């Protein structure tokens, strides 16, 4: 059988995938099964039996069904109401449609001619983001940006530009002076990783103290800058969090911008998770001052409801993004004026898929208002869940949540006990939650990404934790 | 209307997308229309009218159809037989199915628990690639790798590891010594860009001369290394091309490996395009010596027939990949033995989509033999097209192709004239070809990615070029 030409076979496989995916999604949303059937790697490896299907190709429709069943069952069920773990959006219809179109077309978005429609859509999406931040060209800025495969790449893009502008010889001749980045300890690991990659060195990320909740202490930032100004170290950037990945709290962007502005230091806002709150009238105040930054990272695949990955690296001044990967090359600033904008100059990626369509179709089909109301609803839900947790004496919350991230712990329990409880919740009870450390203390961490997660899910979760908590230091919990 | 709950609306949209995509693909494959309807950016921007759909949501099914028609029509028609441009595979059924599954699941592949099935599939795909290179664990290596969002990222991953191993203090403390990378001028721009990003400096990529076709001259490499050994510059790596992006020729990997081995220098093979020829009995000799490298970049979204992006960063020794983003951290080498391998430690990306499924389903549904025969067929086709071009007196070929890339030019025509002709071929005649420079000379460049491209397409292309060529220095060609 030649599978390329056997249209009956293809039709059957296509229909099977669509039916299975729809059934899988519906079943997940009802809360059936566990969020995660976490078998040991080698056990799942044996079960999936991947070699077999490759050796016996073309795989029959029945065999394919068998593979797909196993694959889906042993995945993270992201649509499940008891999935309160990572910051990934449960895939919605518009972004899945976009992914299908992107896949079938396989156009690039790096060069205009490799994907004209894709390039126009990317430009629209970037302009929409810039506009939300307050960087529309009509207020005197010529802002710009690029879509990247994730927030880490957007952070690297911004910090590469900041490094090249702070030390203009770096791009051509390498790092010749000691460069530093300043940020709080609660920053995402991609900041210190970016410093390692960029040749700055991850030990040269200077940690500014934060308050108990994870907010950068602006006075300490000022003092650190003053101290550095007497040294031979070059400050590349200050990175502010909006919000922190660990605890979901927002740094004071206005105050940080004031310090950066006074000292003429690049301000980067890592808004991968929290920049989306700017869409909500109720929560946009959390982003006050974001327009004062020089660059912003904003992921669409977290709160803007697209599938992963789709992240904006956004720059207040167009000429600065052109410094990210080319040092200072004046001729590149023409880009904004030319008719065929080639984003390849501004991105690490060469073959760059047409990811902008995910966000465009989400906004076009769901509507901006609906996206804003999803964000508001999830932030609001987190406050409600916090109230439930906070009224129980057995638990301590890190703080009243500012976003859809809630950190809490069992009073008096150690890290290992909490880790063991988390394992049980996943393996036995079918919940999925994460854990984190803030200021050295260990917490359970919930990220409310799903409108289907209910107060009763949270109450059940707490009851289970208390049940395990009663077991105290029982070692068989630690598996 | 609430689009999330109006299942009739969703069904209609879904059906519309599937029908349109199938019709679009069939039409493209017949060779109807132009490969690329290249309107100026602002004209297409106005035509797509993206604002309108966002303001009037929810968009009606008719409006959506109107948008999709425009979007598809104004894209690069990658399945068109006269698309002989970039190195992207025309999307095939198995990889499109994979993309649908990945999108609906939205699982990650960075942490095992974020996508157990996805992680097992990624491991399978990596092992399959390692095996093809000759790095299976049973011959004494403990090889490893990670899938990245593209070959550029894989090159950065490999060169970051090489840099951190050559100068172990770099990761923590930044670049403190002058580091260099050696490669031919025909290397992909991502090598010099990687040097810029990594703080090595793109001027510290030392260009080794290549022969007329773009193959690195190994004697010159030896001389350059000897010269550098007397300097205070640290050699991070030698990058060999398999094949070059510009002309599609393979460096002599055995000879380069001998030089690297003698001088104890990291050898990286950029096999983004050409490593796939290892599947073909007829062409695998081109990759002789690849197993002697320390790291290899191998894209699946070029010759292995997946949609973009899916690239392997492959390491002969597992412990070395752990140096890529963490300097030398001995505790990380446990990773290979542990049951839950967390690829996040080895990749720039944090949220990393489950891209391995693209290649797995391609191999499972098409079969490895069929993929090998597609590669062989495309390489063979290029030789046939070369014969057609080479027998015509008006053209000069750079060389007999070693891959599916052919470079040729009109005898006696200048760069601007050839550029103008290319524009006409795209805009007026519906072909899509690229252009390149090799050793300072300008060439038309064909990449045969589509089995549907025929000798008669090539003859027509040549006739058209000759027709334009007759116009000589006529300036109105240069538009």
pLDDT tens track for A350-389: 999 999 999 999 999 999 999 999 999 999 999 999 999 9
B90 contacts in chain A (CB < 8 Å): 106
A247: pLDDT strictly greater than 60: yes
User: Are residues A367 and B57, on separate chains, in Cβ contact within 8 Å?
Assistant: yes
Confidence of residue A336 (pLDDT cuts 50, 70, 90): very low
Nearest CA in chain B to A123: B45
Please judge whether A339 and B41 are an interchain contact, meaning their C-beta atoms are less than 8 angstroms apart: yes
Give the one of B204, B325, B350 whose C-beta lies nearest to A197's C-beta. B325
The answer to whether B198 contacts A197, with C-beta atoms less than 8 Å apart, is yes
Distance from CA of B137 to the nearest CA of A (A): 16
Whether residue A399 contacts residue A212, with contact meaning beta carbons closer than 8 Å, is answered with yes
Mind telling me how many Å the CA of A33 is from chain B's nearest CA?
15
Dist CA A444 CA A437 (whole Å): 9
- Percentage of chain A exceeding pLDDT 70: 92
Closest CA of chain A from B172, distance in Å:
4
User: Which pLDDT score, from 0 to 100, does residue B127 have?
Assistant: 94
State whether B366 and A150 contact (CB < 8 Å). no
**Contact between residue A402 and residue A244 where contact means Cβ atoms under 8 Å apart:** no
How is B232-263 classified by DSSP, letter by letter? SPEEEEEEEESS-TTT-PPP-HHHHHHHHHHH
Question: Which chain B residue is nearest to residue A52, measuring alpha carbons?
Answer: B364
Quick one: how many helices (H) and strands (E) in chain A? 16, 12
| Range scoring the smallest mean pLDDT among A166-175, A268-277, A329-338, A439-448 | A329-338
Give chain B's count of helices (H) and strands (E): 16, 12
The pLDDT of residue A479 is: 41
Mutation site for B-interface testing, chosen from A364, A426, A447 by largest number of B Cβ within 10 Å? A364
Contact across the interface for A352 and B150, Cβ inside 8 Å = yes
Q: Where are the beta strands (DSSP E) in A7-132?
A: 83-84
User: Residue B170: which of A57, A123, A201 has the nearest Cβ?
Assistant: A201
In eight-state DSSP terms, residue B59 is: P
Q: Is A451 helix (H, G, I), strand (E, B) or coil?
A: coil
- Residues A419-468 pLDDT 10s: 999 999 999 999 999 999 998 899 999 999 999 999 999 999 999 999 99
Task: Tell if the CB–CB gap between B117 and A44 is shorter than 8 Å.
Answer: yes
Interface contact A150-B352, CB threshold 8 A:
yes
| Higher pLDDT pick, A384 / A341 | A384
Minimum CA–CA partner of A272 in chain B: B351
> What is the strand order of the sheet B311-315 is part of?
B144-148, B311-315, B295-299, B267-270, B234-241, B179-184, B205-208
Phi, psi of A181, deg, nearest 5:
-120, 140
Residues counted in chain B: 479
In order of their start, the domains of chain B are 7-75 (no CATH), 100-365 (3.40.640.10), 368-477 (3.90.1150.10)
Q: How far does Cα A303 stand from its chain's mean position?
A: 8
Mutation pick from A103, A334, A339 vs chain B, by most beta carbons of B within 10 Å, is A103
Residues linked to residue A108 through DSSP beta bridges, in sequence order:
A353
Q: CA of B86 to nearest chain A CA: how many angstroms apart?
A: 8
Q: Cα–Cα distance between B470 and B236 in angstroms, integer? A: 50
pLDDT score of A137: 60
How far, in Å, CA of A392 to CA of A234, rounded? 49
Is residue B446 within a helix (H) or strand (E), and if so which, with residue range?
strand B441-447
CA A340 from chain centre, in angstroms, equals: 30
B41/A173 CB distance under 8 A: no
| Band (A89; pLDDT cuts 50, 70, 90) | very high
**Closest residue of chain B to A119, computed from CA coordinates:** B41
CB B429 within 8 A of CB B440: no
Alpha helices in A115-252 (DSSP H): 116-133, 151-166, 170-173, 189-197, 218-229
> A189-197 vs A151-166: helix axis angle to the nearest 10?
50
Whether residues A40 and B339 touch (CB distance < 8 A) is answered with: yes
User: A409 phi and psi, to 5 degrees?
Assistant: -150, 165
Strands B83-84 and A179-184: unpaired
Give the pLDDT confidence of A96-115 residue by residue, as tens digits: 999 999 999 999 999 999 99
Long-range contacts of B281-289 (CB under 8 A, 24+ apart): B281/B372, B282/B376, B282/B379, B283/B375, B283/B376, B283/B379, B286/B242, B286/B243, B286/B250, B286/B402, B286/B403, B287/B242, B287/B250, B287/B253, B288/B253, B288/B254, B289/B252, B289/B253, B289/B254, B289/B255, B289/B256, B289/B257
Say which of B71, B74, B307 has its CB closest to residue A103. Answer: B307
Query: pLDDT tens digit string along A55-78?
Result: 877 789 999 999 999 999 999 999
Residue of B27, B43, B50 for testing the chain A interface, max A β-carbons within 10 Å: B50
Partner residue opposite B349 with nearest CB, options A123, A152, A201: A152
The pLDDT confidence band at residue A304, using thresholds 50, 70 and 90, is: very high
% of chain A residues with pLDDT over 90: 82
Maximal CA-CA distance, chain A: 74
Contact criterion met (CB below 8 Å) for B294 and B162 = yes
Rg, chain B, Cα only: 24
Interior CA angle at B118 toward B117 and B123, to 5°? 100
C-alpha B450/C-alpha B84 separation (Å) is: 8
Q: Tell me how far apart the alpha carbons of residues A250 and A248 are, in angstroms, rounded to a whole number.
A: 7
Residue-wise pLDDT tens for chain B (479 aa)? 455 667 888 889 999 999 999 999 999 999 999 999 999 999 999 999 999 988 877 789 999 999 999 999 999 999 999 999 999 999 999 999 999 999 999 999 999 999 999 999 999 999 999 999 999 765 556 899 999 999 999 999 999 999 999 999 999 999 889 999 999 999 999 999 999 999 999 999 999 999 999 999 999 999 999 999 999 999 999 999 999 999 999 999 999 999 999 999 999 999 999 999 999 999 999 999 999 999 999 999 999 999 999 999 999 998 899 889 976 544 443 444 456 668 888 889 999 999 999 999 999 999 999 999 999 999 999 999 999 999 999 999 999 999 999 999 998 888 899 999 999 999 999 999 999 999 889 999 999 999 999 999 999 999 999 999 765 545 444 34
Q: Which residues of A touch B308 (CB under 8 A)?
A: 106, 108, 351, 353
* Distance between A230 CA and the closest CA of chain B, angstroms: 20
Residue B41 has its nearest CB partner, among A50, A193, A340, at: A340
CA distance B287 to chain A (A): 23
């Amino acid at each position: 059988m030649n599978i390329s030409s056997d249209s009956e076979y293809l039709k059957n496989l296509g229909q099977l995938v669509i039916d299975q995916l729809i059934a899988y999604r519906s079943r997940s949303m009802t809360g059936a099964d566990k969020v995660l059937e976490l078998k040991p790697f080698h056990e799942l490896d044996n079960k999936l039996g991947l070699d077999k299907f490759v050796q016996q190709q073309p795989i029959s429709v029945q065999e394919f069904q068998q593979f797909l069943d196993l694959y889906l069952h042993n995945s993270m069920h992201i649509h499940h109401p008891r999935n309160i773990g990572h910051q990934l959006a449960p895939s919605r219809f518009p972004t899945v449609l976009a992914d299908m179109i992107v896949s079938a077309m396989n156009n690039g978005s790096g060069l205009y001619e490799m994907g004209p429609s894709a390039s126009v859509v990317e430009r629209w999406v970037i302009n929409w983001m810039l506009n939300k931040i307050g960087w529309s060209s009509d207020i005197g800025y010529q802002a710009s940006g690029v879509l990247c495969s994730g927030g880490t790449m957007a952070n690297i893009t911004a910090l590469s530009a900041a490094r090249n502008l702070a030390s203009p010889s770096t791009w051509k001749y390498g790092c010749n002076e000691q460069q530093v980045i300043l940020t709080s300890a609660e920053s995402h690991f991609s900041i210190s990783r970016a410093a390692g990659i960029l040749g700055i060195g991850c030990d040269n990320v200077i940690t500014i103290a934060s308050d108990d909740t994870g907010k950068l202490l602006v006075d300490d930032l000022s003092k650190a800058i003053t101290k550095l100004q007497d040294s031979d170290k070059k400050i590349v950037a200050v990175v502010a969090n909006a919000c922190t990945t660990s605890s979901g709290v927002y740094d004071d962007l206005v105050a940080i911008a004031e310090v950066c502005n006074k000292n003429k230091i690049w301000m980067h806002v890592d808004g991968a998770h929290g920049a989306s709150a700017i869409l909500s009238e109720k929560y946009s105040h959390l982003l006050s001052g974001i327009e004062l930054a020089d660059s912003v990272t904003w992921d669409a695949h977290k709160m803007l409801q697209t599938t992963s990955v789709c992240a904006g690296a956004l720059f207040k001044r167009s000429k600065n993004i052109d410094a990210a990967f080319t040092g200072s090359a004046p001729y590149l600033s023409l880009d904004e004026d030319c008719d065929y904008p080639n984003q390849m100059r501004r991105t690490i990626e060469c073959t760059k898929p047409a990811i902008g369509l995910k966000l465009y179709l989400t906004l076009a089909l769901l509507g901006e208002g609906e996206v804003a109301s999803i964000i508001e609803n999830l932030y609001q839900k987190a406050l409600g869940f916090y109230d439930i947790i906070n009224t129980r004496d057995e638990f301590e919350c890190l703080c009243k949540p500012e976003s859809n991230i809630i950190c809490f712990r069992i009073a008096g329990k150690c890290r290992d006990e909490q880790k063991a409880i988390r394992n049980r919740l996943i393996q036995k009870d079918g919940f999925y939650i994460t854990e984190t450390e803030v200021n050295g203390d260990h917490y359970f961490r919930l990220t409310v990404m799903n409108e289907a997660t209910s107060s009763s899910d949270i109450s059940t979760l707490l009851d289970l934790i208390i049940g395990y908590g009663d077991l105290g230091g029982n070692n068989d919990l630690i598996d």
